[in-house]
């Protein structure tokens, strides 16, 4: 007896299992980052007037803007890879998934440059509470990018053989991986103004 | 997936790296029971120091410590780890990991959990978390010693906390995977005809519990990450500037706030209280409906009450923080929500009491535990009210009164509920009944000694004895009138330990020699009793059941039998 609704939708809920699972997971992620954002607010209110803004001047806004664009592009290519599978076009899928991974890599490289620039200027998490929360939030976000890349890479090359045997389930996998990827993108969309611009 | 259902599996595949929800449930169950014993043992050691301060601890003292005397720092470690182990390694894994895993798919008529591999990952993450927690005892620094609440600045500057935090991150991950799995299973895998209002109340309790775990645990994970940063990366999330420790200003960057931790911690830890109690309420409801041979009184009110309770539990957390000086407006808000949240608990408890009215009750072992749960949880709940009001809490805060209150909720409350569940579903898990005499030998002394431990705590607490005192309050004049209770409580604790021996023996003895039973030894209505005992590996049922009725059709007038299983079609 197989577990029902792994591929097809249950008629009264309109969901397949993994889709509900990933939404629940994302709900918990919202609470995780919500906890950290509330820590940010708490610390900002506790800091001397204007201190957070002043400390934030050290950050490199052009690089972060570029990173925002890269990450948004990766979300677009992620959707395109899923759409390609829906159109039965595995070649296009490979291309778009590859591009998504490339964007993710680009994001990490830029983040690495930002981090090392900070370290060169002797700015560390222990410098002040702004950089404490900056490194924690962006570090945790970076870990989410890396975790996502591992999954996407698996789906790009080794996991792709599932396309031949169970195309519908494989397409579902890309969809839920995509939902996660968009979430990670969305977190950055919040991080960028909160950390760099405010 | 055809590979999923094949039956001739190797020993390791079947019992160790299993993806079958029943095996994983049992893995959770045995691991959690083991940890409950460990956590209790720590407390039995601590109670020696409280009863006979600074005299060598017999049996274990000379093995671990010079002179055999329990030193203050070790006492703190044992206290912190007692709380941590009992809650995060004992009760939650037993209530949600074991009972939730084993019973939810069976009660909704599913072949397994929605994500079997995730289920196994959840167990192993818990296991690793447990190993990390236990291994902290054997490091040079020793285990965490800042209480299970880990309040900074103490937790940031005190040794042993790093492993605690890493262990917690594993345990939180485990809970997260497990609860996502349970919710998805309940939403997606209900058998045909199993509508929401036909679900057994136990399933509802697991459903709400899992939502609490999904939404309340991540902020603690965030807090654990921040505290870890404070400890290893030199940040000062929780350390204010100019903090003086042992007469010297601490060399930290400063600017943080210890209150931030308290907010993040209690945002989890208050819902956590309901994570501890709701599964037990679910179990008790099943046992009471079955042994009163009546439908649960007010099933729908129970369901709405438990959903409302789950929602409210997110906005009461700061009632743990009345003495932090957060202001009267905040206090007024949180004491109002706290009084409101007591309403659904009272609804649930009242409905269970009314269910007993006029019933011809079967007093078997699970029912005894379920019946004891009601007044014990009642005491725990009612003694919580003075703590929910800021005015009375300021006096009672951090005294033994608090300890008495929450132990009544979780020890003779939740743990009795869990015992009821073990005795009730043991025949389903093994195909054999547990020994009845040993069951009574377990129940009666446990009931008496539980009260022997926790009732005097109210007396001590009202006299103003603080919790977490290594000498039990010896150096305080105001405590001198109530300290004679310490010995009484300690002896009760050790006798309670003794009273668990019949249970431990019974679990193993009855596996081999218990009375054999069929599918439905308790004449019950819910779906798990239509599966074989034990249910078939991986698929549970011979055929996925169809559901035609509500969960508790007991003693319906005019029917031949006094129970009608949910699978019996309605006539006409």
Q: Does any CB of chain B come closer than 8 Å to the CB of residue A162? A: no
- How far from the centroid of its chain's Cα atoms is residue B406's Cα? 11
> What pLDDT, on the 0 to 100 scale, is given for residue B39?
97
Q: What is the pTM of this model?
A: 0.95
Alpha helices in B21-115 (DSSP H): 21-51, 61-64, 72-84, 92, 101-108
Q: With beta carbons under 8 A apart, name residues in chain B contacting A187.
A: none
Q: How far is CA B54 from CA A116, B69, B425, in A?
A: 54, 6, 44
Q: With beta carbons under 8 A apart, name residues in chain A contacting B110.
A: 3
Q: How far is CA B497 from CA B213, B380, B507, in A?
A: 30, 21, 16
**Tally of CA atoms within 13 A in the half-sphere of B527 that contains its CB:** 33
Write out pLDDT tens, residues A168-183. 999 999 999 999 999 9
Strand partners, A184: none
Q: Do B183 and A5 touch (CB under 8 A)?
A: no
| Residue segments in chain B with a per-residue pLDDT below the cut of 70 | 1-8, 572
Q: Looking at residue B98, what DSSP letter applies? A: I
Q: Do A4 and B189 touch (CB under 8 A)?
A: yes
Nearest residue of chain A to residue B194 (CA atoms): A12
Nearest residue of chain B to residue A34 (CA atoms): B219
Nearest residue of chain A to residue B4 (CA atoms): A2
Q: Which of B176, B223, B236 sits opposite A28 (nearest CB)?
A: B176
Q: Which of B5, B219, B255 sits opposite A128 (nearest CB)?
A: B255
Q: What is d(CA A30, CA B154) in angstroms, rounded to the nearest whole number?
A: 29
| Section A53-59 average pLDDT | 92
> What pLDDT, on the 0 to 100 scale, is given for residue B572?
64
Q: What is d(CA B525, CA B76) in angstroms, rounded to the nearest whole number?
A: 48
Q: Do B219 and A35 touch (CB under 8 A)?
A: yes
Q: Backbone phi, then psi, for A141, in 5-degree steps?
A: -65, -40
Q: Do B225 and A126 touch (CB under 8 A)?
A: no
Q: Do A24 and B180 touch (CB under 8 A)?
A: yes
Interface probe, candidates A26, A29, A39, chain B, greatest B C-beta count within 10 A = A39
Write out pLDDT tens, residues B331-374. 999 999 999 999 999 999 999 999 999 999 999 999 999 999 99
Interface probe, candidates A2, A3, A142, chain B, greatest B C-beta count within 10 A = A3
Whether the bond into B153 is cis, omega within 30 of 0 = yes
Write out pLDDT tens, residues A79-109. 999 999 999 999 999 999 999 999 999 999 9
User: Residue B250 — left, alpha, or beta (φ > 0 → left; ψ -120 to 50 → alpha)?
Assistant: beta
Strand, helix or coil at B540? strand
Structure tokens that stand for A44 in this block: 């900002």
> What pLDDT, on the 0 to 100 scale, is given for residue B3?
41
Helix/strand/coil (H, E, C) string of B283-319? HHHHHHHHHHCCCCCCHHHHHHHHHHHHHHHHHCHHH
**Tally of CA atoms within 13 A in the half-sphere of B166 that contains its CB:** 13
Interface probe, candidates A5, A12, A16, A28, chain B, greatest B C-beta count within 10 A = A28
Give all domains of chain B, ordered by start, each with its CATH number: 22-240+252-530 (1.20.210.10)
The interface predicted TM-score (ipTM) is: 0.95
Q: Does any CB of chain A come closer than 8 Å to the CB of residue B256? A: yes
Q: Which residues contact A143 (CB under 8 A, 6 or more apart)?
A: none
Q: What is d(CA A35, CA A24) in angstroms, rounded to the nearest whole number?
A: 17
Structure tokens that stand for B407 in this block: 């132990």
Q: Which of B115, B214, B235 sits opposite A132 (nearest CB)?
A: B235
Torsional sign, CA B172, B178, B181, B182 = negative
Torsional sign, CA B169, B171, B172, B174 = positive
> What pLDDT, on the 0 to 100 scale, is given for residue B8?
66
- Arithmetic mean of pLDDT over chain A: 95
How close B550 gets to chain A, by Cα (Å)? 19
CATH 1.20.120.80 fits A17-197, yes or no: yes
> What pLDDT, on the 0 to 100 scale, is given for residue B1?
37
């Amino acid at each position: 007896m197989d577990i029902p609704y792994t591929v097809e939708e249950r008629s009264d809920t309109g969901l397949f299992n993994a889709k509900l699972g990933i939404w629940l997971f994302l709900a918990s992620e919202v609470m995780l980052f919500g906890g950290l954002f509330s820590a940010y607010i708490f610390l900002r209110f506790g800091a001397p007037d204007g201190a957070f803004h002043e400390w934030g001047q050290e950050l490199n806004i052009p690089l972060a803007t570029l990173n925002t664009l890269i990450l948004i592009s990766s979300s677009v290519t992620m959707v395109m890879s899923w759409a390609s599978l829906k159109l039965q076009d595995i070649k296009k899928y490979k291309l778009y998934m590859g591009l998504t991974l490339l964007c993710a890599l680009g994001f990490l490289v830029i983040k690495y440059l930002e981090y090392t620039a900070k370290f060169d200027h002797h700015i560390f998490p222990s410098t002040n509470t702004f950089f404490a929360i900056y490194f924690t939030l962006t570090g945790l976000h970076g870990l989410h990018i890396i975790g996502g890349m591992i999954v996407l890479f698996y789906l790009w090359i080794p996991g792709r053989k599932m396309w031949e045997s169970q195309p519908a389930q494989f397409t579902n996998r890309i969809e839920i991986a995509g939902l996660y990827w968009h979430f990670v993108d969305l977190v950055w969309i919040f991080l960028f103004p909160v950390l760099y611009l405010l | 997936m055809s590979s999923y259902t094949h039956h001739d599996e190797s020993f390791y595949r079947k019992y160790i790296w299993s993806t079958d929800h029943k095996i994983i449930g049992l893995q959770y169950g045995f691991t959690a029971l083991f940890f409950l014993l460990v956590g209790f043992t720590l407390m039995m050691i601590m109670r020696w120091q409280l009863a006979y301060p600074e005299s060598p601890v017999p049996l274990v003292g000379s093995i671990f410590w010079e002179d055999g005397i329990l030193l203050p720092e070790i006492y703190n470690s044992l206290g912190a780890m007692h709380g941590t182990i009992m809650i995060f390694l004992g009760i939650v894994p037993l209530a949600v990991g074991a009972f939730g895993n084993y019973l939810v798919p069976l009660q909704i008529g599913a072949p397994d959990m929605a994500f079997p591999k995730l289920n196994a990952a959840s167990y192993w993450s818990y296991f690793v978390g447990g190993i990390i927690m236990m291994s902290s005892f054997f490091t040079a620094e020793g285990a965490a010693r800042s209480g299970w609440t880990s309040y900074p600045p103490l937790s940031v500057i005190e040794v042993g906390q790093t492993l605690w935090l890493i262990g917690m991150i594993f345990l939180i991950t485990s809970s997260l995977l497990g609860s996502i799995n349970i919710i998805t299973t309940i939403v997606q895998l209900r058998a045909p005809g199993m509508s929401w209002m036909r679900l057994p109340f136990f399933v509802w309790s697991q459903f709400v519990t899992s939502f609490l775990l999904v939404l309340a645990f991540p902020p603690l994970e965030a807090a654990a990450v921040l505290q870890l940063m404070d400890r290893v990366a030199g940040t000062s999330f929780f350390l204010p500037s100019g903090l003086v420790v042992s007469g010297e200003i601490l060399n930290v960057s400063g600017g943080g706030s210890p209150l931030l931790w308290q907010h993040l911690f209690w945002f989890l830890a208050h819902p956590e209280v309901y994570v501890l109690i709701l599964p037990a309420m679910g179990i008790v409801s099943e046992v009471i409906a079955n042994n009163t041979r009546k439908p649960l009184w007010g099933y729908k009110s129970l369901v709405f009450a438990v959903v409302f309770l789950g929602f409210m539990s997110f906005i009461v957390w700061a009632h743990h923080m009345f003495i932090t000086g957060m202001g009267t407006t905040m206090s007024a808000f949180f004491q109002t929500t706290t009084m409101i949240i007591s309403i659904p608990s009272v609804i649930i408890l009242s409905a269970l009491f009314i269910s007993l009215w006029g019933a011809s009750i079967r007093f078997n072992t699970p029912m005894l535990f379920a019946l004891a749960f009601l007044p014990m949880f009642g005491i725990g709940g009612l003694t919580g009210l003075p703590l929910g009001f800021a005015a009375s809490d300021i006096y009672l805060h951090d005294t033994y009164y608090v300890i008495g209150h929450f132990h009544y909720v979780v020890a003779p409350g939740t743990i009795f509920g869990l015992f009821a569940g073990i005795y009730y579903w043991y025949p389903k898990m093994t195909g054999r009944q547990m020994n009845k005499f040993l069951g009574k030998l377990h129940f009666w002394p446990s009931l008496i000694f539980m009260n022997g431990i926790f009732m005097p705590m109210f007396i001590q607490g009202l006299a103003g004895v603080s919790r977490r005192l290594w000498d039990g309050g010896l150096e305080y004049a105001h405590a001198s009138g109530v300290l004679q209770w310490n010995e009484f409580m300690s002896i009760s604790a050790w006798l309670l330990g003794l009273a668990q021996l019949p249970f431990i023996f019974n679990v193993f003895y009855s596996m081999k020699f218990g009375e054999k039973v069929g599918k439905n030894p308790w004449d019950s209505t819910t779906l798990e009793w239509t599966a074989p005992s034990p249910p078939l590996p991986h698929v549970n049922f011979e055929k996925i059941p169809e559901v035609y009725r509500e969960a508790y059709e007991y003693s319906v007038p005019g029917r031949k039998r006094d129970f009608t299983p949910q699978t019996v079609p309605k006539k006409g």
